[in-house]
């Protein structure tokens, strides 16, 4: 998830091109991160020290960590930490961008600092984003909300997007409103002890992205079949939420999903709109507390 969040930011800021971002993404799964790059990124070694160790590796059959320890640049505990970070998505992004000569490590760190400042993130927030863990990432992009079922529903749905639709997902800062006008939309209401509406709305590309990712099939256009796929996805994620809450003694019922190619007005006391990208296509994820909708 880090790759998509940060990579899309770099594209928006014209730091890299769409093609360069795609090139990095294609490289990541094949990338084994070098300990030297991780050590420099973690501020445990300088670039000059890492280069020195790399040169010595060309002259002796020893591991990077062993040489760094012998030179006094690292200790055994630090080497163990670097080894644990080799599979980290952030590190693989850095290694891929450097290997492709698209960005230097210094440029990546500079852009990360700008991203941190623009979004008002803390150091701890950035560590959460770098982790790629959906449960750590989502809260950073939510507006201020009361604790309770609302946040739980958001968390369940976000995990379902990642697991059941696509892990090629990016997210931007969400906002609240009391009135939202959709594009093409699939939605479902949960009623009972707690009333809430979940919806996905967007242009044709956005709707098709989530429909095809979930159904694992191609749709020619945003028709009833494509929207039905989105509705089925919502029904599954809402169902998981309702089941979990029923075990806590809450009585909830799912109404049949509603689908529309035409705009709908959604009104509610608290409507959370979260811009997401699935397979690089923009989509609005809407969750409305006490939400109602009407054709317009």
pLDDT in tens, 257-284: 999 999 999 888 889 999 999 988 999 9
SS3 call for 183: coil
User: Once rounded to an integer, what is the mean pLDDT over residues 131-146?
Assistant: 87
Q: Binning pLDDT at 50, 70 and 90, where does residue 104 land?
A: very high
Tokens at 122, concatenated:
């803390």
**Listed range (47-56, 84-93, 243-252) with the worst mean pLDDT:** 84-93
Per-residue DSSP letters for 55-115? HHHTTSS--HHHHHHHTTS--HHHHHHHHHGGG-HHHHHHHHHHHTTS--HHHHHHHHHHH
pLDDT in tens, 49-79: 998 988 887 676 678 888 899 999 999 888 8
Domains of the chain, each with CATH number or no CATH: 2-135 (no CATH), 138-295 (3.40.1550.10)
Adjacent-strand bridge partners of 271: 177, 288
DSSP state of 141: G
């Amino acid at each position: 998830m880090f790759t998509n969040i940060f990579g899309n930011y770099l594209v928006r800021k014209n730091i890299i091109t769409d093609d360069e971002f795609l090139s990095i993404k294609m490289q990541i799964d094949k990338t084994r991160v070098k300990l030297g790059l991780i050590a420099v990124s973690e501020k445990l070694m300088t670039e000059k020290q890492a280069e020195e160790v790399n040169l010595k590796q060309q002259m002796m059959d020893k591991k990077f960590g062993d040489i760094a320890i012998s030179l006094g640049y690292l200790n055994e505990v630090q080497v163990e930490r670097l080894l644990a970070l080799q599979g980290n998505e952030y590190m693989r992004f850095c290694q891929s961008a450097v290997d492709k000569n698209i960005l230097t490590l210094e440029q990546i760190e500079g852009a990360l600092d700008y991203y941190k400042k623009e979004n008002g993130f803390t150091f701890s927030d950035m560590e959460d984003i770098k982790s790629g863990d959906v449960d750590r990432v989502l809260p950073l992009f939510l507006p201020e909300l009361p604790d309770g079922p609302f946040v739980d529903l958001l968390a369940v749905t976000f995990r379902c997007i990642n697991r059941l639709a696509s892990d090629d997902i990016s997210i931007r800062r969400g906002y609240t409103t009391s009135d939202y006008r959709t594009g093409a939309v699939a939605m479902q209401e949960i009623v009972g002890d707690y009333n809430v509406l979940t919806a996905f709305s967007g242009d044709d590309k956005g709707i098709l992205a989530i429909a095809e990712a979930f159904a694992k099939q191609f749709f020619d256009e945003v028709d009833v079949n494509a929207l039905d796929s989105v509705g089925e996805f919502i029904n599954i994620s809402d169902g998981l939420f309702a089941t979990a809450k029923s075990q806590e003694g809450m009585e909830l019922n799912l109404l049949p999903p509603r689908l529309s190619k035409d705009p709908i007005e959604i009104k509610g006391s608290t409507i959370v709109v979260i811009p997401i990208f699935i397979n690089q296509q923009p989509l609005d994820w809407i969750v409305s507390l006490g939400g109602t909708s009407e054709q317009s």
